Chains A and B, each alone.
Chain A
Amino acid sequence: MRYRPLGPSGLQVSVVGLGCNNFGRRRVVNGTRAVVDAAIDAGITLFDTAGIYGGAGASETLLGEVLGARRDKIVLAAKFGHGKTDMGYGPAAGAKGGRAYIKRAVTESLRRLRTDYLDLHQIHTPDPVTPIDETITALDELVTEARSGTPATPISPDGSSRTPSTCSANWAAPGSSRRRTTGRCWSGPRRPRSCPRP
């Protein structure tokens, strides 16, 4: 397997990635495990999933279950905010490119994936309602929070802001030594910040 840099992110990825949209819809847990095992054995390190894959987070859930301790062996890319799919986050989360929605989405993805960091977090489809600056700023906040280990403004699972003392424990596991979230919006005007692997 050959590997190459993922843009200026500091991450190295295999030239062949694994699309995980089959998981949950066509592949239940044993089938998912067989495919993931084969991919890792073949040296594939880029795994691409999304909240909507498999329906209502099923791909992320299955992937989290079968990865286990191998999470750190891969570069995990997730996506949020598909325009045509309701993830059930409710009206408090707001528009899918908005700050509250992004933070709710990353919280839910981390929980389903059983991890405390994402390597790449991308908007799935453009949000025609939210100004792109708000989307980019929210993603930048995730990166900053991951580096500092302290959520700037914790968001509870219902999308509302809370004080740190009542922050959801699911929020990117403050204090985790491996915590790292790289925000990136493919349609955004700015390049992502460098986020080298530890």
Chain B
Amino acid sequence: MMSPEQVKANAVAGDWVPAAGQLAELDAIVPPPA
């Protein structure tokens, strides 16, 4: 169930800018489209 607290927490995640290493980890999990 969605709560205001969850919305606020998710909104904070919107400010996250992945570093190069983090992007590489993400690409390893979900490869970018060919």
A residues neighboring B (CB under 8 Å): 1-2, 14-16, 18, 22, 26-27, 34-35, 37-39, 41-44
Contacts and interface: CB of A to CB of B under 8 A. Distances in A.
Contacts, number: 41
Interface of B: 1-5, 7-8, 10-15
B interface: dominant SS: helix
B8 A27 contact: no
B13 A16 contact: yes
Nearest to A18: B7
6 contacts: A2-B15, A18-B7, A22-B2, A38-B5, A38-B7, A41-B8
A35 B14 contact: no
A22 B12 CA distance: 21
A42 B11 contact: yes
Contacts of A27: 1-2
B29 to A, nearest CB: 20
Contact of B11 (A22, A34, A43): A43
B22 to A, nearest CB: 16
Contacts of A15: 14
